[in-house]
Amino acid sequence: METRVALIGIIVEEPERAAEVNELLHRYSEYVIGRMGVPYRARGVNIISVVLDAPQDVISALSGRMGRLEGVSAKTLYSNVITPIEDR
């Protein structure tokens, strides 16, 4: 199996969804390289960038689950770096 490096950009427009977003990120924490959150108070949204090194199906699952939350948008950008899990 192989892993990829990916960036998921998340915009949380409904603050009451923050707990659900954090729960999902916690569930996938073994794949998270880093994350950065920026509260944009002037617009009432929170922007989160999450960098992962994970199998393709794991990245897709997390991004899809994020995007299905009401008031949350998620988009994923993939690197061309693909590494066999044994090399990690």
Identify the structural domains of the chain with CATH numbers, from first to last.
Answer: 2-83 (3.30.70.1150)
- Give the model's pLDDT for residue 87: 57
- Give the model's pLDDT for residue 59: 97
Closest by CA to 80, choosing from 3, 19, 4, is 4
- Give the model's pLDDT for residue 35: 97
CA–CA dist 3, 80 (Å, integer): 10
- Give the model's pLDDT for residue 29: 97
> 39 CB contacts (<8 Å, ≥6 apart)?
46
Mean pLDDT per 10-residue run, the chain (88 residues)?
94 95 97 97 96 96 96 94 72
CB 75 within 8 A of CB 9: yes
Q: Dig out the tokens for 23 from the structure.
A: 């729960």
Amino acid at 11: I
- Give the model's pLDDT for residue 50: 98
